[in-house]
A and B are shown apart, each in its own frame.
Chain A
């Protein structure tokens, strides 16, 4: 028997076993060669990286496709004691906001940077929904490199979508709120006092973010967005709901109107007005946090000004297009011509034409205005409607071959349809209640249409039960043929919303392996054990500590007193890939440190009881990892035990160890 025939026999056996064990429901969607299509052999690499939003975990997870293997959870908006993120002195400023230190948020959408409308593998952005912020993650280190807060914003949901050369990353308000000098107003004065904004955050060559301008907009809910591309480059499209402007029981009161809006923003025009000085500078307060790879630490700075443009006065920046029933997804196809709005409560999908929209604007084919912004006639911008596609359309991605894939939350399915003739081509069930979906590059000019991944809100009976709280899930479908084929499902961390995927080689080749110890500019670095020391400054004790397989230097410290604040500045002297060291000390009220090769990180420790405290390495580093430990002695306040530190000194007989230098 040849190897191939053994393999195919095995596949048949596996396939048989699948159908034999679970003849009902879900498995009916799994056909014979699914296991082979999702199988990535041990030691082999996946084809794609998948960057998945963690929802209420506040983090971003990285999976391989098609295996569904989890590689890393990147801490972004929530503290992560495992990595010391938000606990080390160096990383605390990353989570600073104008409200102080915020340890948690809700990350909904991921967006990979693009050049010429194609994914370029430099950065991935994420949005914080609750305390409005946008984060940039560096794909060389897979770490959060920068976080910018958004003033005049509440519920940053329609974010962090980008323009085709990553000129801007977008942030739009889900909640409209009162803004400016008088924000203490009655909630039921929504129509009079509440406003929404859309922020255009410029992205520099090195990725640095800055709020270029904000648009002050009518008080509605901005939901999702996508940039134009190709012919529609220069425009940005947003879905809006609650055009009823309700402030209570939105479930009913924001579902009254037959149509809400897609908002089209001509941002090139906005740039012209900005240049012409038409912006108004507003006094606000927000913070900008940047991680520095040289000092291995973050810096948080406060900013106090933002420039606002008013589209009700500057007439040709914004237009509304009516869109049926509380639109959610707002997606632009790879050609840049078609804009798909998905009305959550609609039983059809409207597709708008950029060309027709331009003509409608030129012809002034308006049906009126909404708070000073022109409303284009629905038919004048409409390419057509997909009739009876399913129930509750949410999000659409594209295969670059003229087809769109839309998720349906209520009817739990993905539906493939043709953009030109609007005919439904295929439908596949999801398990269950799918939200977002992802095709690698599926919102760019150049999708890699091999898989579509569904991100499900509910798993119910899909996995072994784990009490009342169950995992959310992702499901991978092969879309290389005419029909979608379910090949794998796997649980996710947090609640996945939007996700993006990119070919692995675009990113893997740039991955950082170590930080060069010679380039470490942390003010508390110890470059070698010669520089290890303990220094007292008043009641602050700074421990300049080194770690290498398998000892700390120093590993015996005495002379710390109650009332002292101890700062362990631990430098990892290793210069080899995949050799982090950890650091933990008994009773620490925060977390551990996890220090990458060549890095310095600091743990603050305030001992409250007299005694000898152990400290140790938490990350298994060598055969003698269990020996990588030390002691720190804490004496009463006012004690005269001198400050000493040592490594490798054996005790003097019976007497207290003499001070060493």
Chain B
């Protein structure tokens, strides 16, 4: 009998604290996504637009008609150190998908948000989650700066034949 009381007591005790905690976390998560949505344009097909842009600070990235060679050059260097271990420049999947054609599959915003906001993207973005189901290795957060991410995107454009 005594044991049961102890176990029951402890269980209540843990639940009381644990439940409270989880609730707090849920709240903060909701807040997080609210602010992310608030940053996105409020249009009718908002959800669709979000899906294409992903979650993160990049809501509108200007991309030129022609290649910015300097940016692409800088992006190559970042690729060599931080991306090339897992992403080939062909269509072949290594650890992550090959980059050939990525600029036609994804928006620049989605690519740059994924590269700079990996954990939140993998937690919430359906496209990123679908990719994880294929690759099974979480993309590492390689601590790219905003500029790094933009330069890498320009390098992806170069890889896709933009002159």
B-contacting residues of A (Cβ < 8 Å)?
Answer: 3, 6-7, 9-14, 16-17, 20, 41-44, 514, 516-518, 527-530, 546, 548-551, 553, 573-576, 579, 622-624, 648
Q: From A10, which residue of chain B is reached at the shortest CB distance? A: B13
Select which of A9, A43, A575 is within 8 A of B141 by beta carbon.
A575
Q: From A520, which residue of chain B is reached at the shortest CB distance? A: B81
Q: How far is the CA of A81 from the CA of B136 in the complex (A)?
A: 31
- Give how many A-B residue pairs fall within 8 Å (CB-CB): 96
Binds A, one of B1-9, B30-38, B63-71: B1-9
Binds A, one of B17-25, B41-49, B52-60, B102-110: B17-25
A3-B20 in contact (CB<8A): yes
| Most chain B CB within a 10 A radius of its CB, from A6, A548, A574 | A548
Select which of B6, B118, B137 is within 8 A of A624 by beta carbon.
B137
Query: Which residues of chain B are within 8 angstroms of A579 by Cβ–Cβ distance?
Result: 140
Query: Which residues of chain A are within 8 angstroms of B136 by Cβ–Cβ distance?
Result: 623-624
B2-A549 in contact (CB<8A): no
Q: How far is the CA of A413 from the CA of B118 in the complex (A)?
A: 53
> Which A-B residue pairs are the 10 nearest by beta carbons?
A13-B9, A10-B13, A575-B143, A576-B141, A528-B80, A528-B81, A548-B85, A575-B142, A17-B6, A10-B9
Query: Which residues of chain B are within 8 angstroms of A44 by Cβ–Cβ distance?
Result: 21
Select which of B2, B84, B118 is within 8 A of A529 by beta carbon.
B84
Select which of A10, A546, A574, A648 is within 8 A of B140 by beta carbon.
A574
A623-B137 in contact (CB<8A): yes
Query: Which residues of chain A are within 8 angstroms of B94 by Cβ–Cβ distance?
Result: 648
B137-A550 in contact (CB<8A): yes
Q: How far is the CA of A553 from the CA of B95 in the complex (A)?
A: 13
B21-A41 in contact (CB<8A): yes
Interface contacts beyond A529-B84, A624-B136: sample of 10 additional A-B pairs, CB < 8 Å, sorted by A: A6-B13, A16-B5, A517-B82, A528-B80, A528-B84, A546-B85, A549-B138, A551-B95, A576-B140, A624-B95
Given that A7-B16, A514-B143, A528-B80 are contacting pairs, would A13 and B85 also be in contact in the complex, using a CB cutoff of 8 Å? no
Query: Which residues of chain B are within 8 angstroms of A518 by Cβ–Cβ distance?
Result: 81
By the criterion of a CB under 8 Å from any partner CB, how many residues of chain B are at the interface?
29
B80-A10 in contact (CB<8A): no
B95-A549 in contact (CB<8A): yes
Q: How far is the CA of A184 from the CA of B105 in the complex (A)?
A: 81
Instruction: Kindly provide the distance from the CB of A40 to the nearest chain B CB, expressed in whole angstroms.
Output: 10
Question: Is B86 among interface residues, defined by CB-CB distance under 8 A?
Answer: yes
Query: Which residues of chain B are within 8 angstroms of A10 by Cβ–Cβ distance?
Result: 9-10, 12-13, 16
Query: Which residues of chain B are within 8 angstroms of A528 by Cβ–Cβ distance?
Result: 80-82, 84-85
Interface residues of B in 120-157 (CB under 8 A from A): 136-138, 140-143
Q: From A12, which residue of chain B is reached at the shortest CB distance? A: B9
Q: From A513, which residue of chain B is reached at the shortest CB distance? A: B143
Q: How far is the CA of A11 from the CA of B143 in the complex (A)?
A: 45
B80-A41 in contact (CB<8A): no
A574-B13 in contact (CB<8A): no
A14-B6 in contact (CB<8A): yes
B13-A14 in contact (CB<8A): yes
Q: How far is the CA of A10 from the CA of B11 in the complex (A)?
A: 8
What are 7 A-B pairs with beta-carbon distances under 8 A? A13-B9, A42-B18, A44-B21, A518-B81, A527-B80, A549-B86, A575-B140
Q: How far is the CA of A648 from the CA of B5 in the complex (A)?
A: 60
Q: From A548, which residue of chain B is reached at the shortest CB distance? A: B85
Query: Which residues of chain A are within 8 angstroms of B5 by Cβ–Cβ distance?
Result: 13, 16-17
Instruction: Kindly provide the distance from the CB of B69 to the nearest chain A CB, expressed in whole angstroms.
Output: 20
Q: How far is the CA of A330 from the CA of B12 in the complex (A)?
A: 48
A527-B10 in contact (CB<8A): no
Q: How far is the CA of A13 from the CA of B95 in the complex (A)?
A: 52
Interface residues of B in 85-121 (CB under 8 A from A): 85-86, 94-95, 118
Given that A573-B81, A575-B82 are contacting pairs, would A3 and B143 also be in contact in the complex, using a CB cutoff of 8 Å? no
Instruction: Kindly provide the distance from the CB of A46 to the nearest chain B CB, expressed in whole angstroms.
Output: 15
Given that A576-B140, A624-B136 are contacting pairs, would A13 and B10 also be in contact in the complex, using a CB cutoff of 8 Å? yes
Instruction: Kindly provide the distance from the CB of B150 to the nearest chain A CB, expressed in whole angstroms.
Output: 17
Given that A7-B13, A14-B13, A553-B85 are contacting pairs, would A576 and B142 also be in contact in the complex, using a CB cutoff of 8 Å? yes
Q: How far is the CA of A14 from the CA of B9 in the complex (A)?
A: 7
Q: How far is the CA of A10 from the CA of B18 in the complex (A)?
A: 14
Query: Which residues of chain B are within 8 angstroms of A624 by Cβ–Cβ distance?
Result: 95, 136-137
Query: Which residues of chain A are within 8 angstroms of B141 by Cβ–Cβ distance?
Result: 575-576
Query: Which residues of chain A are within 8 angstroms of B137 by Cβ–Cβ distance?
Result: 549-550, 622-624
Q: How far is the CA of A44 from the CA of B22 in the complex (A)?
A: 12
Q: How far is the CA of A550 from the CA of B136 in the complex (A)?
A: 11
Q: How far is the CA of A43 from the CA of B18 in the complex (A)?
A: 10
Q: How far is the CA of A13 from the CA of B10 in the complex (A)?
A: 8
Given that A42-B18, A43-B21 are contacting pairs, would A573 and B6 also be in contact in the complex, using a CB cutoff of 8 Å? no
Query: Which residues of chain A are within 8 angstroms of B13 by Cβ–Cβ distance?
Result: 6-7, 10-11, 13-14
Query: Which residues of chain B are within 8 angstroms of A6 by Cβ–Cβ distance?
Result: 12-13, 16
Query: Which residues of chain B are within 8 angstroms of A551 by Cβ–Cβ distance?
Result: 85, 95
Instruction: Kindly provide the distance from the CB of A482 to the nearest chain B CB, expressed in whole angstroms.
Output: 28
Instruction: Kindly provide the distance from the CB of A18 to the nearest chain B CB, expressed in whole angstroms.
Output: 10
B12-A622 in contact (CB<8A): no
Query: Which residues of chain B are within 8 angstroms of A527 by Cβ–Cβ distance?
Result: 80-81
Instruction: Kindly provide the distance from the CB of A230 to the nearest chain B CB, expressed in whole angstroms.
Output: 43
Q: From B139, which residue of chain A is reached at the shortest CB distance? A: A549
Instruction: Kindly provide the distance from the CB of A3 to the nearest chain B CB, expressed in whole angstroms.
Output: 5
Q: How far is the CA of A639 from the CA of B84 in the complex (A)?
A: 34
Q: From B79, which residue of chain A is reached at the shortest CB distance? A: A528
